[in-house]
Amino acid sequence: MLKFFYYNIYQIFFSRFLIINLIFGKIFIFDKKKCNFFFQNIRHLFDLNTYRQIFIKEDYNLETTSIGLFVKRNYKKKLLILDCGSNIGASTNYFSLQFPSCKIIGIEPDIDNYKLSIKNTISSNILIYNSAISCKKKIFKVIKSTKSDPRGVRIKEDKKSLKKTLTIKEILDNKFLKMFKPFIIKIDIEGSEKDLFQSNTNWINNFPIIIIELHDWMIKKENISSNFIKKISKIKNKDIFIKNENLVVVNYNLIK
């Protein structure tokens, strides 16, 4: 109940977006800035909380940060935003509204989340793959990361599976996507960031902005963030700050 009142008060006075849970399975989102609205499909309270985090708390709003001016200069350019762990499509839709000229690529391994994200897609500049991201090509299966929260899933190598991961290099080498310059990469992959940053990380030098949620808290004693910290430490001219649940890394070598 307290969370309900908190989000309602916050969205009225502080947020660009207003969310109304009209009927079971569907929410109404009003954009105060553009004076328009759209509907999204949800399955349970966890999905609703995802939309609250992204559209009310605006976890991925960088205009209010130290790089806000750089972000505003680029919102109309044809750039590439890579959303690793796009879940039910809330984050891809948010990026699409913030950067309407950008190409948004979402990657989601869970088939149920993927199907709902396709249903929720609001723009033609969004493309979502039902796959997972990794440092090199792997065959994987999906497992639930926690019993209490159905939103999060992890991947595990499984040679019997038919699913193959994607690599960031593979995406950037796509002929169609080469016309879009890398801009933002968002990473929320439930602990698989340890694998992602293990090797083949030259792509780090392509993205001016990296937004990542680290999961050491969820998977204890496995040093989940260790590879990320090692790789990021090699960027000489950078800034790192916290934005809600995420860590934002800004590579000033790529910002003009």
pLDDT at 147: 64
Tell me how far apart the 2 most distant CA atoms of the chain are, in Å: 52
* Per-residue pLDDT, 221: 87
The CB density around residue 217, as the number of other CB atoms within 10 Å, is: 8
Determine the residue type at 154: R
When pLDDT is averaged across residues 236-254 and rounded to a whole number, the result is 95
Burial label, 154 (beta-carbon count in 10 A; 0-12, 13-18, 19+):
buried
pLDDT at position 50 is: 95
**150 has pLDDT over 90:** no
pLDDT band of residue 1 (cuts 50, 70, 90) is: confident
Q: How confident is the model at residue 146 (pLDDT cuts 50, 70, 90)?
A: low
Q: Please list the residues that pair with 18 across neighbouring strands.
A: 30
